[in-house]
């Protein structure tokens, strides 16, 4: 695009080609007056200082002055009609072509010219004409009027150029931000039992889908929808996603994660910006799903018997309430293999067809229902059901409408074994190097009182790639060992208490009280790891500052016998190859190999 | 979309009337409807009798009003909501923050 200089009325760069006009006195007077009006009259020789008048000898000279490189690019062109005649159109076409999208007013001068000639000239690009002889004042005001139009045009062109540059700049930045957003908001969902449809984002639609297996072997999913669109909506996704993945991988409970997400968004986002979300944690081992719906439309559980159960929002969206007022009450569902969970944002229900009708809940429910019967016919879940729901929405909105605000995810309940296989598949990326290391942590009384050390230990264990696929077992080992050391070793709580009526509640009340009053003590973890890509051994020793206990028979027990004792210990026996107490009983050593 | 506001006879309640779509385009007008008052009224009512549609930015604007009106101590009624509007307010659990009538 050629550069257009902003012209001003007090700078007159005139190009003229007037070969056959003799009496130009009136024109000269008009030009002098024009220059005087602009207040730029030259002092000595009567030539206005800012009037640059280039007189051309032929048409090609005029054209050459219109080149982009021209030093005297004009803001007004004067040509006599008789010089153009009889090929007025051809001349003007060449001139207009040379000007391209630049605008320079062209005024024609003529003596005794015909209406036909004037009409042809005006129709082909000339802006005005003056028939000579004429009053110099009239010539002057006509030229002034044309200069004003030219000036306005160049200002507009300049602004247009600025706006379009800014626009390009914004698009570039948005493109960049969009790449980050897509990575943060939608990456990492590569598990075979999750199928999703996330619209290609026009700019940013503020929808976010996060899913990750947890160390305990469950699946944690979050579907979120931030207020509004654009960067304002997308900006919250980054802290949301990093907190979600960070905490989930360290084994924090869903309840803690939701609380933290809320606090973080409440602290970071301005009032009025929040995130409607549905968070679900599915435990494939026992078939229990905990679901928390905060402001999203009804999500659904589609059961094997084709019944559809809505999961209704019962909470305020993330980021609205401060941490003190915020409470998480999730809903619990028992699921069986083959059941499906659907999470969606309101964009799906509100998407419109050409008649302005919304897709709506009723259509969505029947789409799920017919998808279910399709699955029943095929007798397999191969994603065809999901595809048919998607097709139903696309058929509804038709070809003209855009589907740029749709987020829908289907999670299928599978067996715990298949889920861990899927997890292993999704993490089989890098080759794993042999490793050998040891690490030691000692948690003292302040930490014991105020923090849960399990996520911290687990986090450092899972830094080791060889260990990641065993995160579920590791989580159990570390948390059982820690709880035993704390509850029995330091707090002297007896498991026998739990067998009494309301014993559990009493036990945990006592746990809280004694922990608050604990004035001294520690729990130490010594961890030793030797691993190759397909086998390895992890040895965990836990020593607490407590009294210990008489473990006499414990070490000789078989797995069957151990099952009669506390569930924690029996769990350890199930997972670990070796569980033994040493010293006075405040020291336990377990070996886990794979 | 058009927003109008007037003080109720007692001058203790500001009634803000939102007609048409209550979405981001209402942002400026909605805000100035309550910010322009010299004295804060004791309570507020948002009259949605003529509100056809409510989106999440409108929910955000209601939260801004709540902040302005004193946060947890604010007294704000959302009145004359039609079924669609009410549904959105219920899904969002705004009943905990506002009196929906």
Q: If you write DSSP's letter for every residue of B12-64 in order, what string do you get?
A: SEEEEEEEEEESGGGHHHHHHHHHT-SS--SEEEEE-TTEEEE-HHHHHHHHH
Residues in contact with A508: Cβ distance below 8 Å, sequence separation at least 6, in sequence order:
none
Rg of chain A on CA atoms, in Å: 40
Q: Where in chain A is the domain with CATH 3.60.40.10?
A: 187-421
Alpha-carbon distance A228 to B27, whole Å? 12
> Is 3.40.50.2300 the CATH classification of the domain at A12-160?
yes
Which pLDDT score is estimated for A351? 86
* A107 vs A111, more confident: A107
Q: Where in chain A is the domain with CATH 3.30.565.10?
A: 430-593
- Burial zone of A540 (CB within 10 Å; 0-12 exposed, 13-18 middle, 19+ buried): buried
Interchain pair A320, B61: CB under 8 A = no
Residue A44 pLDDT greater than 60, yes or no: no
Interchain pair A272, B24: CB under 8 A = no
Q: pLDDT tens-digit profile of A263-317?
A: 999 999 888 889 999 999 999 988 999 999 999 999 999 998 888 999 999 999 9
Interchain pair A271, B61: CB under 8 A = no
Q: Where in chain A is the domain with CATH 3.40.50.2300?
A: 12-160
Interchain pair A274, B60: CB under 8 A = yes
- Cβ contacts of A205 on chain B, cutoff 8 Å: none
**Pair A511, A489: CB distance under 8 Å:** no
* A565 vs A74, more confident: A74
Alpha-carbon distance A212 to A188, whole Å? 8
Alpha-carbon distance A361 to A359, whole Å? 7
**Pair A65, A4: CB distance under 8 Å:** no
Interchain pair A316, B96: CB under 8 A = yes
Interchain pair B93, A295: CB under 8 A = yes
Residue A261 pLDDT greater than 70, yes or no: yes
CA angle B12, B13, B17 (to 5 degrees): 155
Which pLDDT score is estimated for A401? 62
Which pLDDT score is estimated for A540? 93
Mutate which of B28, B54, B60, B76 to disrupt the A interface (most A C-beta within 10 Å)?
Answer: B60
Which strands form A219-226's sheet, in the order they lie side by side? Answer: A207-213, A219-226, A275-283, A288-294, A331-334
Q: Which CATH number fits domain A187-421: 3.40.50.1100, 3.20.20.80, 3.40.50.300, 3.60.40.10?
A: 3.60.40.10
Which pLDDT score is estimated for B44? 93
Query: Is some CB atom of chain B closer than 8 A to the CB atom of A356?
Result: no
Mean pLDDT of A18-28: 82
- Cβ contacts of A361 on chain B, cutoff 8 Å: none
* B94 vs A561, more confident: B94
**Residue A131, SS3 per DSSP:** strand
Residue A560 pLDDT greater than 90, yes or no: no
- Cβ contacts of B64 on chain A, cutoff 8 Å: 271-272
Beta-ladder partners of A411: A194, A341
User: Both ends of chain B: CA-CA distance in Å?
Assistant: 22
How far, CA to CA in Å, does A20 sit from each of A127, A414, B65?
Answer: 21, 94, 76
As given in the structure block, the two tokens for residue A235 are 């900006």
How far, CA to CA in Å, does A456 sit from each of A66, A431, A525?
Answer: 73, 25, 12
Q: Which CATH number fits domain A430-593: 3.30.470.20, 3.30.565.10, 3.40.630.30, 3.90.650.10?
A: 3.30.565.10
- Cβ contacts of B93 on chain A, cutoff 8 Å: 294-295, 313-317
* Minimum-distance CB partner of B61 among A272, A296, A317: A272
* A199 vs A528, more confident: A528
Which pLDDT score is estimated for A562? 47
Alpha-carbon distance A294 to A255, whole Å? 13
Residues in contact with A541: Cβ distance below 8 Å, sequence separation at least 6, in sequence order:
A525, A526, A527, A587, A588, A589, A590
Interchain pair B92, A317: CB under 8 A = yes
* Confidence grade of residue B1 (pLDDT, cut at 50, 70, 90): low
Interchain pair B57, A271: CB under 8 A = no
Residue A563 pLDDT greater than 60, yes or no: no
**Pair A240, A252: CB distance under 8 Å:** no
Q: Which CATH number fits domain B2-100: 3.40.980.10, 3.30.2130.10, 3.30.750.24, 3.10.180.10?
A: 3.30.750.24
C-beta atoms surrounding B94 within 10 Å: 24
Beta-ladder partners of A543: A524, A587
Domain ranges of chain B: 2-100
- Cβ contacts of B59 on chain A, cutoff 8 Å: 227, 274
Interchain pair A274, B97: CB under 8 A = no
How far, CA to CA in Å, does A522 sit from each of A446, A454, A456, A493?
Answer: 9, 14, 16, 16
Interchain pair A313, B91: CB under 8 A = yes
Query: Is some CB atom of chain B closer than 8 A to the CB atom of A362?
Result: no
**Pair A518, A491: CB distance under 8 Å:** yes
- Cβ contacts of A325 on chain B, cutoff 8 Å: 72
Mean pLDDT of A398-420: 81
* A positions 246-275 inside 8 Å of B (CB): 271-274
DSSP state of A358: B
Give this complex's ipTM: 0.72
- C-alpha count within 13 angstroms, C-beta hemisphere, residue A25: 2
Residues in contact with A489: Cβ distance below 8 Å, sequence separation at least 6, in sequence order:
A523, A544, A545, A546, A547, A548, A586
- Cβ contacts of A236 on chain B, cutoff 8 Å: none
Query: Is some CB atom of chain B closer than 8 A to the CB atom of A325?
Result: yes
Please tell me the distance in Å from B70's CA to the nearest CA on chain A: 13
In 3D space, the residue among A288, A260, A286, A340 whose CA is nearest the CA of residue A277 turns out to be A260
Q: pLDDT tens-digit profile of B18-55?
A: 988 888 778 888 988 998 888 889 899 999 998 888 88
Scanning every residue of chain A, which has its alpha carbon at the shortest distance from the alpha carbon of B98?
A: A316
Residue A60 pLDDT greater than 90, yes or no: yes
Please tell me the distance in Å from B31's CA to the nearest CA on chain A: 12
In 3D space, the residue among A101, A145, A100 whose CA is nearest the CA of residue A127 turns out to be A145
Query: Is some CB atom of chain B closer than 8 A to the CB atom of A316?
Result: yes
Q: pLDDT tens-digit profile of A78-109?
A: 999 999 988 999 999 999 999 988 899 999 99
Mean pLDDT of A336-343: 93
Interchain pair A317, B91: CB under 8 A = no
Residue ranges of chain B whose CB lies within 8 Å of a chain A CB? 24, 56-57, 59-61, 63-64, 67, 72, 90-94, 96-97
């Amino acid at each position: 695009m050629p550069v257009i200089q902003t012209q001003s009325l007090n700078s007159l760069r005139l190009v003229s080609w007037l070969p056959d006009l003799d009496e130009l006195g009136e024109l000269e007077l008009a030009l002098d007056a024009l220059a005087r009006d602009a207040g730029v009259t030259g002092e000595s020789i009567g030539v206005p200082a800012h009037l640059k008048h280039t007189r051309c000898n032929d048409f090609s000279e005029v054209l050459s002055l219109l080149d982009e490189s021209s030093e005297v690019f004009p803001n007004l062109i004067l040509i006599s009609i008789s010089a153009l005649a009889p090929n007025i159109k051809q001349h003007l076409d060449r001139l207009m072509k040379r000007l391209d999208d630049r605008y320079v007013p062209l005024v024609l001068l003529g003596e005794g010219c015909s209406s036909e000639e004037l009409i042809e000239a005006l129709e082909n690009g000339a802006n005005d004409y003056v028939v000579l002889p004429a009053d110099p004042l009239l010539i002057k005001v006509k030229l002034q009027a044309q200069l004003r139009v030219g000036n306005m045009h160049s200002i507009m062109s300049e602004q247009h150029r600025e706006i379009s540059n800014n626009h390009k700049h914004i698009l570039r930045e948005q493109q960049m931000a969009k790449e980050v957003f897509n990575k943060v908001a939608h990456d990492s969902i590569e598990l075979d039992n999750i199928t999703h449809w996330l619209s290609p984002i026009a700019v940013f639609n503020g929808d976010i889908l996060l899913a990750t297996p947890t160390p305990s072997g469950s699946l944690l999913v979050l579907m979120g929808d931030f207020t509004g669109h654009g960067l304002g909506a997308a900006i919250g996704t980054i802290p949301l996603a990093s907190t979600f993945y960070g905490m989930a991988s360290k084994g924090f409970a869903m309840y803690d994660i939701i609380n933290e997400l809320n606090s973080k968004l409440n602290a970071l986002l301005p009032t009025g910006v929040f995130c409607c979300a549905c968070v679900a944690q599915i435990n494939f081992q026992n078939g229990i799903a905990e679901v928390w719906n905060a402001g999203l439309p009804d999500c659904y559980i589609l059961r094997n018997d084709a019944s559809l159960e809505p999961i209704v929002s019962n909470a305020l969206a993330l980021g609205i309430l401060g941490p003190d007022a915020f409470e998480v009450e999730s809903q619990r569902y028992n699921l069986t293999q083959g059941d499906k969970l659907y999470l969606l944002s309101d964009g799906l229900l509100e998407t419109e067809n050409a008649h302005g009708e919304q897709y709506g809940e009723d259509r969505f429910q029947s789409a799920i229902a017919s998808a279910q019967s399709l699955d029943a016919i095929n007798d397999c879940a191969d994603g065809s059901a999901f595809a048919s729901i998607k097709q139903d929405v696309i058929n509804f909105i038709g070809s003209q409408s855009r589907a740029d605000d749709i987020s829908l995810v289907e999670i299928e309940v599978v067996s715990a074994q298949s889920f861990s296989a899927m997890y292993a598949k999704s993490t089989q990326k890098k080759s794993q190097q042999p490793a050998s290391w040891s690490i030691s942590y000692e948690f003292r009384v302040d930490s014991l009182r105020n923090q849960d050390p399990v996520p911290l230990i687990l986090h450092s264990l899972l830094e080791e790639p060889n260990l990641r696929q065993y995160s579920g077992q590791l989580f159990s080992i570390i948390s059982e060992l820690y709880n035993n050391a704390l509850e029995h070793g330091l707090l002297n709580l007896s498991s026998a208490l739990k067998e009494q009526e309301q014993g559990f509640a009493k036990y945990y009340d006592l746990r809280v009280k004694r922990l608050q009053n604990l004035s001294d003590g520690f729990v130490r973890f010594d961890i030793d790891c030797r691993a190759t890509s397909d086998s390895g051994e992890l040895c965990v020793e836990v020593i607490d500052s407590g009294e210990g206990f008489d473990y006499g028979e414990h070490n000789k027990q078989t797995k069957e016998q151990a099952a009669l004792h506390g569930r924690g210990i029996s769990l350890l026996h199930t997972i670990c190859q070796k569980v033994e107490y040493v010293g006075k009983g405040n020291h336990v050593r377990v070996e886990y190999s794979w | 979309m058009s927003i109008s506001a007037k003080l109720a006879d007692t001058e203790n309640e500001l009634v803000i009337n939102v007609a048409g779509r209550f979405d981001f385009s209402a942002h400026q007008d909605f805000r100035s409807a309550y910010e322009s008052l010299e004295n804060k009224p004791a309570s507020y009512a948002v009259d949605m009798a003529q509100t056809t549609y409510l989106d999440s930015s409108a929910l955000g604007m209601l939260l801004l009003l709540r902040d302005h009106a004193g946060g947890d101590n604010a007294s704000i009624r959302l009145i004359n909501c039609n079924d669609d509007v009410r549904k959105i307010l219920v899904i969002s659990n705004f009943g905990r923050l506002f009196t929906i009538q």
